[in-house]
Amino acid sequence: MSTRVPHVAGFAGRPRAESVKSAGKAARKRMPRGAHGRPETWTWPDRRRNGVTAAVEAVEESNAGRIPELIPLRVGRMAAGPFAFLRGSAGLMGADLADTPVTGIGAQICGDAHAANFGLYADARGRLVMDINDFDETVHGPWEWDVKRLVASLVLAGREAGAAEDVCRAAAYAAAGAYRRTMRLLAKLPVIDAWNAIADEELVTHADARDLLGTLERVSAKARRNTSAKFAARATEEAEGGGRRFTDAPPVLRRVADAEAAAVAGALDGYLRTVGEDRLPLLARYTVHDVAFRVVGTGSVGTRSYVVLLLDHLGEPLVLQIKEARASALVPHVAKAGFHVEHVEHEGRRVVLGQKRMQVVSDFLLGWAEMDAVPYQVRQFRNRKGSVDPAALEPGLLDDYGRMTGALLARAHAHSADPRLIAGYCGRSDELDAALAEFAVAYADRTEADHADLLVAIRSGRLAAELGS
């Protein structure tokens, strides 16, 4: 770079004497790689206080602000098993991780990167993409927290599937290793090549997950049929005066009062100001026909979530989801870990921008809205979404799935963090992989104990739960 040209804000400065990779290596002094697997660095506090466990208190605290009549449904889903409990307790794990040393290297993290939050969805042209697909908790924080959540979830999913303990540990080890190797690969590439590296058609080969091909083909075939048209055909009926309307299907889908439907439809005006202007002519060709309330997944049960039925001039449907965006459960914990927490002007905007920062390609109709001072995110509903259930995989496929998700997570982190920095920390050896596998087993044990405490709270009547829901 010519010395005549001053530094321009928003671009990199001139190369430093110390390389970015060396800075990553230096982070090992703050948090040695092997220390991730040593119990003395976890310093987890005793869960029990005054006869009540902190895990149960965390569930109660996370229920605050949710729709009261749906809380027993949420608790019931978390009670289904330790893996389900982990899926609903991102904040609790964040609190645990905040009590451990960190590398100090930040990235845009998913915040809830468990093994079931990866899946397929369609790009703007209908082609299937595989990536992380849930960003409710996304925030800037320690990259390793996402990896630790992933590896612990693989152990829990494997145990639920009946896999032997060495198989579960091997899956965690495989995921950590794939993350490390992928980050090292990205660090060696030119920036623009690294940004777009590892196309989905290369993912299975890159991750050495060929045994998973049959499963992915079945999931892909199902995802291609998972469309707005299919959902609308099952969930709507002809309305008086023409068009269609949603039908009640409790407890998951219910019609709403006219005033509530009008408020949701009115919030779409604000949404239109958050999508790209090039999308407006497309949306302008649809008419809003109906609104219904729809219960969402384990961690989000009890939040406000609606589906909006749009029809074009041929009566073909497009369904949008308008989902309440709560503050990330990780915010106080990343702050405790020493990371700056930026002011969030709108929680829906935080989710959408975090998603776009991490995914290779995102839903082209993503946006945000507000209704009665409550922030929402807006996205397509059923745009060919599909996913692998890690808890239903054959044990022999768990390590393949671990490698694939580990590679996807590295690709996502490399969009906001310099891969040279993280690769410098991770290094060539498997020291970090082995340590993270050790952590995964220990945290899976801790989660199983937390789940057992949840069941005790349900049996005692402290927490109401709709079991088997």
Determine the 3-state secondary structure of 36 from DSSP. Answer: helix
The helix or strand, by DSSP H or E, that contains position 243, with its residue range, turns out to be: none
- Alpha helix locations (H) across 31-164? 54-62, 71-78, 82-87, 90-98, 143-160
66: alpha, beta or left, given left = phi > 0 and alpha = psi -120 to 50? beta
The pLDDT, as a whole number, for residue 1 is: 47
| β-bridge mates for residue 379, sequence order | 321
Q: Which pLDDT does position 18 carry in this prediction?
A: 65
Positions of the chain with pLDDT lower than 50, given as ranges: 1, 17
pLDDT tens by residue, 355-411: 999 999 999 999 999 999 999 999 999 889 999 999 999 999 999 999 999 999 999
The first and second tokens of residue 109, run together, are 């993290």
Q: Chain-centre distance of CA 180, in angstroms?
A: 20
pLDDT for position 13: 80
Best CA proximity match to 376, nearest among 352, 353, 357, 355: 352
Query: From CA 419, how far away is CA 432, in angstroms rounded?
Result: 16
Whole-model pTM: value is 0.96
What is the spatial distance between Cα 380 and Cα 304, in angstroms, rounded to a whole number? 16
Instruction: Compute the CA torsion angle 450, 454, 456, 461 (nearest 10 deg).
Output: 160
pLDDT, tens only, 70-94: 999 999 999 999 999 999 999 999 9
List the strands of the sheet with 367-371, edge to edge: 253-255, 287-294, 305-311, 317-324, 374-380, 367-371
pLDDT at 198: 84
DSSP code of 122?
E
